[in-house]
Structure 1
Amino acid sequence: MNVLWIQAHPETRSLNGFLAEAGQRALRDEGHEVEVSDLYAMGWNPVVDAAAYAHDPARRFQVADAAKQAHAEGTVSADIQAEQEKIDRADTIVVQFPLWWFGMPAILKGWFDRVWHQGYAYGHRGPNGEWIGYGDGFLAGKRALAVVTTGGPAWFYGERGIHGAIDELLFPLQHGMLFYGGAEVLPPVLVTGADRFTPADGDRAAGDLRARLLAIPVTEPVPYRAQNSGDYDENLVLRPDVAPGSTGLGVHVRTGVRPLPPVVPPVPAGTACAAGHPRTR
């Protein structure tokens, strides 16, 4: 595999830093190529601005149109172009981050905001002139995997857990960004109770992460419904005969797939829950 590993954590000595190093080493030891975008180490600029698209400041800045024009003319800023070249070289994308306030850190969201722009990541038509997306697009033929740590225990992120089901919390990333771009999205690696980890817990998590990484080529992807599968009508609304009477994010998955288990056992019930807050290291 040619892997692009995108990581977003400010501390290399954190659990995230440890898992990133262990996971990348495991891939390389098996002969896979790994390219890394460590956003904090790079000092990545997460803010969309006109300068990135060589936009004339005298004119109104319409972000999508400016990005599309700059992409066509080859005037997108060098930092964005470099990340797009990494994506083009990869056949597998790993996105690693701690879950902060129910989503990815701002620096990672800003990476998507700037790199995933019109003309590159979306706004394309297929051979018959149809708009493409959700199962087809610039990531077609690639696989994608999210590696996510949380402070709260596993049951907080179950179907009835107070923080919400992890597959729904990750839906914007997995369905709206990765699957929209055409990638086959694998069930996420979820490391729960991260703030309570001991060195032994970290070693066990690294071993389980290694197993998940090396199984990427044979892991079944989440069966999201493709945009042009026939499940949606001309307005891209599910047809009445598809999952009739059901609503919510789960209707966009063909079957009731659930994420694979967390890579470490949940902490025992009754353990102090100070680390259960949705903001986690």
Structure 2
Amino acid sequence: MAKKVLIVYAHQSAGSFSAAAKDAALEVLTAQGCMVEVSDLYAMKFKATATAEDITGEIKNAEHFRYAEETKSAWEAGKLSADITEEQCKLMAADLIIFQFPMYWFTVPAIMKGWIDRVLTLGFAYSQEKRYTQGIFKDKRAMLSFTTGSHESMFSANGINGDMNVTLWPLQNGILHYCGFQVLAPQIFWAPSHVPSEARSTMLEVWRTRLQGLLGEEPLSFTPMDCFDGEKGFQLKPEVHEKHANKEFGLTVGIHLGKRLPPNNQMKAGV
């Protein structure tokens, strides 16, 4: 059966490197028999703000509006706004979601953050019981593909911007893995606006080559949810902590046990 891919794309210009990366993914994956759909957020004029307008019908508590609870009830009742429902349908149909964007201020652009805030609603994308390795989307894959404004050296452990692995932890663990996605290693295009055209062409060729085998890649590793004690504030279980007591590195970038961060934990599978 053909795999279904959703590309959530955020760039204002069709002449951008991000657009070229999106087009390459569309072309290569389609050639492999995948059914690829693109949500072009700027072209769609996608609303970035999470407000009461996202609900059709009455609000339960207008005086103290709580977005997560209100949208959960609206989702259960089929009363979310049409733009959210349409994106949720696309996501449900997809086997792989690629987020294609230029990194703004060490994270995703506002319009893409709005997609995340509004589409990944409580109940639909996660719940108290269904998150992380037990998450709702545990049978789906997701990945970040983005450009930076700084060179790779600046995002190193000794660089002025800090370790890119640390920058990626909130996005890949706190959003994608939190919803259960198997997270593929990110595709990072380092400072394409500051390199010669030949280097940009090489970046795209590397991406196109990776796309050939993307669907068969191993995902990044995260600490399984059953390693934590839910009755004790979801702290790492003593036996797991003890098992790693004498190891040089922590488990992950975020769950580091006060040890050295495992190198490339958020950038390469199997490291």
Q: How does 1:1-281 map to 2 (within 5 A)?
A: 1-54=3-56, 55-56=58-59, 58-123=62-127, 131-228=129-226, 230-232=227-229, 234=231, 235-240=233-238, 241-242=240-241, 243-244=244-245, 250-252=253-255, 256=262, 258=264, 259-260=267-268
If asked which structure has higher relative contact order (CA below 8 Å, sep 6+), I would say 1
Once residues 109 and 244 of structure 1 are traced to their aligned partners in structure 2, the CA distance between those partners, rounded to angstroms, is 37
1:119 CA drift (Å)? 1.5
Once residues 9 and 224 of structure 2 are traced to their aligned partners in structure 1, the CA distance between those partners, rounded to angstroms, is 28
Could you say if the C-alpha distance between residues 253 and 204 of structure 1 is closer, same or farther in structure 2, counting changes exceeding 3 Å? Answer: farther
Larger mean Cα displacement after TM superposition, 241-250 or 170-179: 241-250
Paired positions, count:
254
Deviations 1:225-266 (A, max 9, x none): 1212x24553212234424497796253899351249xxxxx
Any stretches of 5+ residues in structure 2 without a counterpart? none
Larger mean Cα displacement after TM superposition, 242-251 or 6-15: 242-251
Paired residue secondary structure (1:135): helix
Paired residue secondary structure (2:133): coil
Deviations 1:123-145 (A, max 9, x none): 26xxxxxx121112221111111
Please report the TM-score for the alignment, with normalisation by the length of structure 1: 0.83
Please report the TM-score for the alignment, with normalisation by the length of structure 2: 0.86
One-letter amino acid matched to 1:76:
L
Any stretches of 5+ residues in structure 1 without a counterpart? 125-130, 262-281
Root mean square deviation of aligned Cα: 2.4
Query: Higher helix fraction: Structure 1 or Structure 2?
Result: 2
1:166 CA drift (Å)? 1.4
Once residues 55 and 252 of structure 2 are traced to their aligned partners in structure 1, the CA distance between those partners, rounded to angstroms, is 34
One-letter amino acid matched to 2:204:
A
Percent pairwise identity: 32
Whether the aligned pair in 2 keeps the contact of 1:5 and 1:93 (CA below 8 Å) is yes
Deviations 1:86-112 (A, max 9, x none): 000000010111111111111111110
Deviations 1:147-175 (A, max 9, x none): 01112111111222221221221112211
Once residues 149 and 139 of structure 1 are traced to their aligned partners in structure 2, the CA distance between those partners, rounded to angstroms, is 26
1:12 CA drift (Å)? 1.3
One-letter amino acid matched to 2:211:
L
Whether the aligned pair in 2 keeps the contact of 1:222 and 1:253 (CA below 8 Å) is no
Once residues 46 and 85 of structure 2 are traced to their aligned partners in structure 1, the CA distance between those partners, rounded to angstroms, is 13
Paired residue secondary structure (1:195): helix
